[in-house]
Amino acid sequence: MAKKSRPTFQKQQKEHARRQKQQAKAARRLQAKQHRINAKSDVGEMTLDMSGIRPGPQPEPTSRHQESDPI
């Protein structure tokens, strides 16, 4: 009958490294989730000069002095 092979030291090291990588990844995901939650709460604190900006071309500001065109 064939004997069941024992796990080698390299395999144990590989599995340990994989578990550590998974734990680090889970911690990184949790940190990113916390960062996203904090970022959402900061959205209400926008500065007034940034509140009217939309994606795409922006309209000309109305407070500029209109200069006459020198011809």
Total domain count, the chain: 1
- 44 in a structural domain: no
- 7 in a structural domain: no
- 70 in a structural domain: no
pLDDT at 69: 55
Least confident range of 5-14, 42-51, 57-66: 42-51
CA distances (Å), origin 62, targets 12, 28, 57, 59, 67: 69, 46, 15, 9, 13
Say whether pLDDT at 49 is over 90: no
- 63 in a structural domain: no
Average pLDDT of the chain? 78
Residue with tokens 């922006």: 58
Say whether pLDDT at 20 is over 90: yes
Residue range 23-44: mean pLDDT, rounded = 86
Residue range 16-33: mean pLDDT, rounded = 96
What is the extent of the structural domain holding 17? 12-39
